[in-house]
Structure 1
Amino acid sequence: MGRHTHEGEDAFPRAPTQEEWEAMGPEERERVVESLPGEVTWDEMAMPEGDKHLRAKVRTLDLLEGYFSHQRRKVYVGAELPIYYPGERRFAPDLLVVLDVEAHEREKWVVSHEGKGLDWVLEVHVGGDRKKDAEYNVERYARLGIPEYFIYDRARERLEGYRLPESGVKRYERMEAKQGRYTSEVLGLELEVVNARLQIWAGNALLLESGELVERMREKLEEVQRRVDEEARLREQETRLREQEARRREEAERRIAELTAELERLQHREE
């Protein structure tokens, strides 16, 4: 079996190199994937950064999952998933997207096993040293060939975007915002920070959280119910009017019959 834990620089688990992977048989590969931990240690993770970090991450995950769940294209969206590139120290980005793969739940992403690497990464920065997100990860993610990388800096409430200019290039170019929005060519979406919230647009449509969608659906349901109730009230009113009209007609017909009968009696009496 290929060695999937490298000593020296660090002792954190690593996936085999691609050369080692290709030399393995199917059963050995399966054992290696199973042996790679599905969690990262405290030594590898940044210190907890509180609600600002958590809510931004959870909200963005919700927006992306909600959007891609309605697209025909298969897309996997994950958060803090241990990522194993061949021969590389593992890492766990705040958010990640991989296109054209099954969206089932995973506890880790082993690039050699999955057959492809990440397509999009977002890191949420709240406090402390920005060097990891703004310098080290910019170099690392570009070297790994991740097409796009975004940093949502909650301390400054601003967004930074990086993109590989073409396939095979291992150095990012910084994106330029247009009217405050960054275009993600990978996702086919636009991102911007407005009022301390990361907003995502699909064309002219603003993506909504699950809770916001539920509230919109509730409002629509209430509006439909109001229309149904109003139509029912109008139908009931029409029914009452028809019943009143029928009663008046019956009364008029009864009165005509009485008058006709009275007229006939008078005519008979004169005769």
Structure 2
Amino acid sequence: MQQQQRAPTSWVIDPDDPRAPPQELWDRMTPDERQRVLDTLPSEFEVSEASPPEGDFHFNPKAAAKETLGGYFQRIGRRVYLACELPVYYPAERMFAPDLIAVLDVEVKERSVWSASAEGKGVDLAMEVLWSGSSKKDLEDNVTRYAALGIPEYFVFDRRRRRLRGFRLAAGSARYQPIVPQEGRLTSAVLGLDLGLEGDRLRFFHGLAPLPETHELLTRLGAMVGDLEARLDETEQRLDEERQRTDEERQRADDAERRLAEALAELERLRRERG
């Protein structure tokens, strides 16, 4: 756990309930004071202060979602910051750390925390993966809290029950409305993608096509490399056969030229004998 430091006198961080300063106080701070606050906001917590250790059933879906979305947005050239379990600080609010967050059109770099005041914007999308934790926290408490914070979209993937729920802020409201499934999928206006389930797996779709996950991309790449190697082997074999035919034709030409020279020499000998 990182060592706690003392924030500037204008804002003291409680290690038992770390919060970013209210926005009006942040606005009055100097750049150095702001940086000291950011350096003091905890990015690591004791297990007893955060969530208990998690198993693969909870960890793998959020890690796969981050990798899949990260690869997709990188390929299309869109700047979307993605993070798992990153401490998020809104002005004067309790820290929270969703399983996955997405923030559009910001610098994609490593961060220890997301500070809405320092970044100039809040989270655009939050997602929680539910396995054996509290469904009340994810499906009731977070629905109210994330909406009040102004997070445009919130998704909950209940892997154990194989259910996916989505919520979107109503226009001009601080309350969520459920996202109605269309042909079994939920549309994310933030990501410009659809979300759906394949068994107990969360998948993202662009139109009808699912976004490939990392292992699928590696499998495709391996198949492409294997196909390329096979084509190279075939090409090399054809070149070897062509070189062999060329050598044989050259040899036949040399033999024909030698036989012609021998015939001309014999003809010249016979002429000399007659003369």
1:155 paired residue number:
160
Establish whether residue 137 from structure 1 lines up as the match of residue 135 from structure 2.
no
Higher mean C-alpha displacement, 56-65 vs 142-151: 56-65
Q: Provide the aligned C-alpha RMSD in A.
A: 2.2
1:202 paired residue number:
206
Aligned CA distance change for structure 1 residues 25 and 265 (closer, same or farther; 3 Å): closer
Q: Is the 8 A contact 1:14 1:89 kept in 2?
A: yes
Question: Match for 1:54 among 33, 53, 59?
Answer: 59
1:226 paired residue number:
230
Q: Is the 8 A contact 1:40 1:92 kept in 2?
A: no
Paired with 1:41 and 1:144, the residues of 2 have a C-alpha distance of 25
Paired with 1:157 and 1:2, the residues of 2 have a C-alpha distance of 48
Establish whether residue 255 from structure 1 lines up as the match of residue 259 from structure 2.
yes
Aligned length: 267
Question: Could you tell me how far 1:223 is from its partner in structure 2?
Answer: 1.4
2:5 paired residue number:
none
Paired with 2:20 and 2:76, the residues of 1 have a C-alpha distance of 32
1:112-170 per-position Cα deviation (integer Å, ceiling 9, x unaligned): 1111100011100002431100111011111100011010101111211111132x311
Paired with 2:152 and 2:116, the residues of 1 have a C-alpha distance of 15
Q: Is the 8 A contact 1:74 1:103 kept in 2?
A: yes
Fraction of identical pairs, as percent: 46
2:182 paired residue number:
178
1:198-257 per-position Cα deviation (integer Å, ceiling 9, x unaligned): 111233443223333233222212211221221111111111101101111221222233
2:124 paired residue number:
119
Paired with 2:273 and 2:116, the residues of 1 have a C-alpha distance of 113
2:21 paired residue number:
16
Question: Could you tell me how far 1:60 is from its partner in structure 2?
Answer: 1.1
Secondary structure, aligned partner of 2:108? coil
Question: Could you tell me how far 1:262 is from its partner in structure 2?
Answer: 3.1
* TM-score of the pair, normalised by structure 2: 0.88
Gaps of 5+ in 1: none
1:96 paired residue number:
101
Gaps of 5+ in 2: 1-8
For 2:77, give the aligned amino acid: R
For 1:249, give the aligned amino acid: A
Paired with 1:143 and 1:58, the residues of 2 have a C-alpha distance of 27
Paired with 2:95 and 2:227, the residues of 1 have a C-alpha distance of 51
Paired with 1:259 and 1:136, the residues of 2 have a C-alpha distance of 105
2:245 paired residue number:
241
Question: Could you tell me how far 1:44 is from its partner in structure 2?
Answer: 4.7
Higher mean C-alpha displacement, 242-251 vs 28-37: 28-37
Q: Is the 8 A contact 1:4 1:13 kept in 2?
A: no
Paired with 2:272 and 2:28, the residues of 1 have a C-alpha distance of 123
Establish whether residue 28 from structure 1 lines up as the match of residue 33 from structure 2.
yes
For 1:55, give the aligned amino acid: N
Secondary structure, aligned partner of 1:191? strand
For 1:210, give the aligned amino acid: T
Secondary structure, aligned partner of 1:70? helix
